Amino acid sequence: MTMAEPTESGRFGDFGGMYVPETLVPACQELDRAFRDAWGDPAFRNELDHLLRTYAGRPSPLTECHRLGEELGCRILFKREDLNHTGSHKINSVLGQALLAKRMGKTRIVAETGAGQHGVASATAAALFGMECVVYMGTVDIERQKLNVFRMQLLGAEVRAAETGSQTLKDAVNEAMRYWVSAVEDTHYCLGSVMGPHPYPWMVREFHRVIGDESREQCAELLDGGVPDYVVACVGGGSNAAGIFAGFADTDAQLIGAEPAGGAAVGRAVPGIVHGSKSYLMQDEWGQVLEAESISAGLDYPGIGPEHAHLAASGRARYEPVTDAEVVEAFQLCSRTEGIIPALESAHALAWIAKMRDEVAGKTILVNMSGRGDKDVNQMMDVLGS
């Protein structure tokens, strides 16, 4: 199978759609038209490619991790999204969206952020394009990601606290959507993952497809034209996973999404509707959305992008949980053996390999190293008690 366009109603199988307040429907439809038009326009593609190369630092390298591989009994390749400008894969989609927003005549972007990586990337793009930027972040996350809050402010963005509910990513999305409802005429909602109403899940995946496309080529070179046995990525909303999966969906590679055990939307496999789309969603017996709980702010989300729900339901990809303890272990192991401090989010993918070492023994595994761990060092000092 391939990861293709959703249906006209924005569906991947049974999932997706456009469940937004009526006020936002015209904006989503306008965005769909604008993205379609831009994505088919060589001038737009060239401009974005140019930015990705000269500003974000693409292509990101593929690194073979010999010592970690030896430790875990398999061959491990890292796709180094951690080396992108601003430190994660998020910049790919943000540059695309900001360029598109500019093309649409919008003067401001609003974004939600969990770990702060998407917020930092959004603030960066806004600075680059001379746009205003408002970022919503849960109060809990503001506390555990102080460094990124300051970074966004340095970049000229206004960081607003989402003080409702669990005060994490889900609530930041609520606040960003409320803001968008009020400012839709001049503001682009720069959504941070492959979630939300159509066209976001599709558009954000397309902007991240570059991860998969580059990896496919780099793997072919390294593996004599072959593909890895496994492609593993962490999954919050699922953007880094969607991007890298897109390069391998039509191969025999097994696609694995590592979910935090406290935010395992696919594991529970209950469909629901929130934040614009129908997908798997953690909820109680009445459909109230539950609060996810994860050591990593970027994965602290009770849902998952609709295309992932479809990939799971159709059996093309597996989504499996890892615990916070397993993640902390993997975080340290990667740092010590490879000299790469991973983002706590990305460490979920590594934790999956460590956990499944029997299954993956001797196999070649491509991991999306979606971000670097600088932002997590403070938090880990507390966790590790040093």
Ligand X SMILES: Cc1ncc(COP(=O)(O)O)c(C=O)c1O
Residues recognised as catalytic: 65, 89
Task: Name which of 195, 137, 143, 193 is nearest 161 in CA terms.
Answer: 137
To another protein, the closest distance from the beta carbon of 122 in angstroms equals 20
User: Residue 125 binds which one of ligand X, another protein, none, with CB within 5 to 8 A depending on kind?
Assistant: none
Q: In whole angstroms, what is the distance from residue 125 CA to residue 133 CA? A: 9
61 binds, among ligand X, another protein, none (CB under 5 to 8 A by kind): none
Quote the least distance from Cβ 302 to another protein, whole Å: 9
Q: Contact positions toward another protein, by CB under 8 A?
A: 9, 17-27, 164-165, 170, 174, 177-178, 181-185, 271-276, 278, 281, 283, 286-289
Per the omega criterion (within 30 degrees of 0), is the bond before 199 cis?
Answer: yes
**C-alpha distances in angstroms, 235 versus 118, 132, 194?**
14, 29, 10
DSSP labels for 22-39? GGGHHHHHHHHHHHHHHH
Contacted by 114, from another protein, ligand X, none: CB < 5 to 8 Å by type: ligand X
Sign of the Cα pseudo-torsion (287, 291, 292, 297, in order): positive
**Distance from C-alpha of 105 to C-alpha of 99, rounded to nearest angstrom:** 10
CB of 240 to another protein, least distance (A): 24
List the structure tokens of 85. Answer: 């400008």
Q: Among another protein, ligand X, none, what binds residue 23 when CB lies within 5 to 8 Å by partner kind? A: another protein
* Binding partner of residue 294 among another protein, ligand X, none, CB cut-off 5 to 8 Å per kind: none
- CA 43, chain centre distance (Å): 26
Number of H helices, E strands in the chain: 16, 14
Q: How far is the CB of 367 from ligand X (least distance, A)?
A: 12
- Site residues (CB under 6 A) for ligand X? 88, 114-115, 117-118, 193, 234-241, 298-299, 343, 345-346, 370-371
Centroid of chain to Cα 353: 19
Q: Which is nearer to another protein, 21 or 61 (CB)?
A: 21
* Least distance (Å) between residue 212 CB and another protein: 30
Picked from ligand X, another protein, none, the partner binding residue 27 (CB below 5 to 8 A depending on kind) is another protein
Q: How far is the CB of 207 from ligand X (least distance, A)?
A: 12
Q: Residue 140 is encoded by which pair of tokens?
A: 């809990």
Q: Which residues of 3-37 are buried (b: 16+ CB within 10 A; e: fewer)?
A: beebeeebbbeebbbbebeeebeebbeebbebbee
Select from 300, 307, 317 the least CA-distant residue to 280: 307
Smaller CB separation from ligand X, 117 or 215: 117
CA-to-CA dists, residue 101 to 229, 299, 301, angstroms: 38, 26, 26
41: which residues sit within 8 A by CB, 6+ positions away? none
